[in-house]
A and B are shown apart, each in its own frame.
Chain A
Amino acid sequence: MGASARDPHKGLTRRAVLASVARAAGGALLAPLLARAQQDGPPITRPIPSTGEALPVIGLGSWITFNVGRDARGRARCADVMRAFFQSGGRMIDSSPMYGSSQEVIGHAMAQLPSAREVLFSADKVWTGRGGAAQIEESRRRWGVTRFDLLQVHNLVNWEEHLPLLLSMKAAQRLRYVGITTSEGRRHVEIEQLLRTQSLDFVQITYNVVDREVESRILPLAADRGIGVIVNRPFRGGSLVDDLERHPLPPWAGEVGCANWPQFLLKFIVSHPAVTCAIPATSRVEHLRENMGAALGLLPDERMRRRMVQYVAQL
């Protein structure tokens, strides 16, 4: 990891200061959104290893759930989810040009939530064979942001071309963080190689209580290299929750504040010391609130984590 990844930028500092001032003052601008978060208590945060900036451990994904096209009702539902997300103290929203209309839908919702701009941590991806700069500009326009907080090379597609572009954008302060992504255990050998050799702030991988391959090499390597970890597919696209909801929660789940299976699954993920945040996706406010509940209260310790794995394995 190069030194530049850890150096706070001027723009970054100003933004952080502005956000802090607004939060500290309970500013009128953010008050409606923060009121709910203050009511429930602040969500658990983790520092981004490269800068120390605190991020809530639960973010919001947009794969499938936010791809609602031009449907007005669908867009309104997504805006409600985003409103509830910010009310619960959430910050990171993740999308990709691969996700159909999701970027536009996020931009549409953000236009209705101007007070959320200061807290939003915008994470998107570049996903194209050629023309990465043009795609990033189009994505930025769809989101309606002045710049992205984080851009990632989606599934390592043409990373040889895109990573230098993202790093140059970061050096020019047109981007705050750079990352790479994969999902469902694909291309882990290459991911490891890039974690060792590139100056990255984040890596996004799949990790959950049943898909734990990354525990052996990638998570320790990311921790060792000071790279933040974003976890996708925490519910295996929903199927894991569907499967587990046929069984009772273990009686000891309440010891770490798990009131339901989504919280059980999310708390397991974000309690790994190397994980910065998980990004469950949903199009329903009630599910969003369940998910955000995983960022409150206690997190499982190592002994409890082993117990969680064993319990799910025997179901």
Chain B
Amino acid sequence: MDEWWTYRPSDFLLFSRDTYVQLFEQYHASVWPAHLVLLAAWIAVAWLLRRAPPLGGRAITALLAVQWAWVGWAFHESHFTSINPMAGYFAAAFYAQAALLAVIGAGWGRLTVVVDRSARASAALAVLLTAIVGVPLAGMLAGRSWTQIEIAGMTPDATAIGTLGVLLLLRGRMRPTLLVIPAVWCGLAGVMHWTMASRPEAVVVLLAVALSGFALLAGRRLSVQQA
């Protein structure tokens, strides 16, 4: 790209915010009642986090993998590509994350559930709560109707934030690998919302990233103290 330093994020935004949020309304209408399946998946994730059964890590990451694959196909590939040629690449990234979750988490079983009263777990739960409650609320504050909101497991931002929250409640050497794509997506989403002047949504995404960073640091400090 020539004179690349002269380009701003707005130069890459091909659609208006109205068109973007309208896309969610079309998407929700076209995939209903898939929402009920995804709701059941989140209830299962919550139960697994609370009970922490022996195979909890595998089951949780398998459920997350399904959500990433679903969002990649149903949202990015089937809807978002209609207004954003880059969405094909986004779909590929979501498929890659689904594959990583399936192989590292569900296949190898390298992650275990650790939900305690530590600062790490509290911050991780806050991130999870942000995905489920904060993101839809921020959307409505920014002017979306309830038919246009983001839902964890159904739409990209809430899914990425929810995944960060869940992964921060798991332990395992391979976990950092699984955090990369959700974190990068959150960064992209934050910039996109900011560029579209949708401040509440930008703030909530960036807040989730900050909370995730805090949870990671708190977890590392605890590990050092325990060592």
Say whether A71 contacts B23, CB under 8 Å.
Answer: yes
Interface members, chain B 1-27 (any A CB < 8 Å): 2-3, 6, 10-11, 13-16, 19, 22-23, 26
What is the size, in residues, of chain B's interface with A at 8 Å between Cβ atoms?
Answer: 18
Say whether B82 contacts A69, CB under 8 Å.
Answer: yes
Q: How large is the interface on A (under 10, 10 to 19, 20 to 34, 35 or more residues)?
A: 20 to 34
Say whether A187 contacts B3, CB under 8 Å.
Answer: yes
Q: Binding site of B, secondary structure by majority: helix, strand, loop or mixed?
A: loop
In the bound complex, CA of A262 to CA of B69 (Å): 46
Which residues does chain B contribute within 8 Å of A65, judged by CB atoms?
Answer: 16
* Cβ-closest chain B residue relative to A190: B2
Q: A69-B23, A71-B22, A186-B3 are in contact. Are A99 and B14 (CB under 8 A)?
A: yes
Q: Is B83 located at the chain interface by the 8 A CB criterion?
A: yes
Q: A67-B19, A70-B26, A71-B22 are in contact. Are A100 and B14 (CB under 8 A)?
A: yes
Q: Is B107 located at the chain interface by the 8 A CB criterion?
A: no
0/1 per residue, A87-123, Cβ < 8 Å to B? Answer: 0000000000011110000000000000000000000
Would you give the shortest CB distance from A131 to chain B, in whole angstroms? 15
* Cβ-closest chain B residue relative to A97: B85
Say whether B6 contacts A64, CB under 8 Å.
Answer: no
Say whether A68 contacts B19, CB under 8 Å.
Answer: yes
Q: Interface on B for A, CB 8 Å cutoff? A: 2-3, 6, 10-11, 13-16, 19, 22-23, 26, 79, 82-85
Knowing that A69-B82, A99-B14, A186-B2 touch, tell me 6 more A-B residue pairs with CB under 8 angstroms.
A67-B83, A71-B23, A74-B19, A98-B14, A100-B83, A101-B83
13 of the cross-chain contacts (CB-CB < 8 Å) are A64-B16, A67-B15, A67-B16, A68-B83, A69-B23, A69-B82, A71-B19, A71-B23, A74-B22, A99-B14, A100-B83, A185-B6, A186-B3
